[in-house]
Amino acid sequence: MSRWARVKEANSMFFSPPQSTVRHRISNLKRLLIGCILLSGLAPFMGGCGGKHVPPPEIVFIIESESETNQGEPFYCAFRSVNANQFLTDSYDGVATLLFANPPDSSVLASLVLLPGEEQEIKIKRPEKVDIGLYCFFTEPGDPWKIKLDQPLGEEYAVELGENRILEAEKEPGSWFWPF
C-alpha cells in the first residue's frame, strides 16, 4: 500500500463517520422533520390552552317564570353591581328607590318588566370586579326575592322564578374555556 493510500485510510477513520452514524443522523433528521410538521399543525389549537379566555362584554340572562308568578301580574326585575356588604343590607324599598330614581342609580345595570308565563332574555354589561345582585319586585315577595351572583361571572344564566320568589339562577356552561 502506498503512503498516500495509508494517509487517506487514516484520515477516513477520523474525518468520515461510519455508516451506522450516518443512518442514525438521517433517522434523527426524519424524526425532527415529522415533529416540526406535527407541531406546526397543532400550533393553532395550542393558543387556547395557554392563553386566558376573555369573556364577552355582556352576560345573557334567560328568565323563565310560571303563569302564576306574581299572581299573573307583570313585575320589575333589576340587576345591580354590588359587593357582599351592600347586598346583605339591601332592602326591598331601598333597591326600589335606587331603581326608580331619576336618573337611576349608577349601580343599576339594567331593569325590565317581566310578564308571567313568558321566557324573556336580557343582556347586561359585564361588571369587571364586582358581583351582580338580581332583584325581583314581586307584589308579595317571598324568600329569596334577591340573589347575588359571584365573580367570576358566567357568560349566560338561566333564572327560574316561582310564584313569588326566585327558585334558582344557574350559570349555564358557556365556552368550555371559561373561567380559565
More confident residue, 45 or 129: 129
The pLDDT, as a whole number, for residue 129 is 87
How would DSSP label each residue in 37-86? Answer: HHHHHHHHHHHHHHSPPPPPSEEEEEEEE-TTGGGG--EEEEEEEE-HHH
Q: How far apart are alpha carbons 67 and 43 in whole angstroms?
A: 52
Query: What is the value of pTM for the model shown?
Result: 0.65
Q: How far apart are alpha carbons 159 and 103 in whole angstroms?
A: 27
Tell me the pLDDT tens digit for each residue of 61-81. 999 999 999 999 999 999 999
Task: Quote the CATH superfamily of domain 58-172.
Answer: Type VI secretion system, lipoprotein SciN (2.60.40.4150)
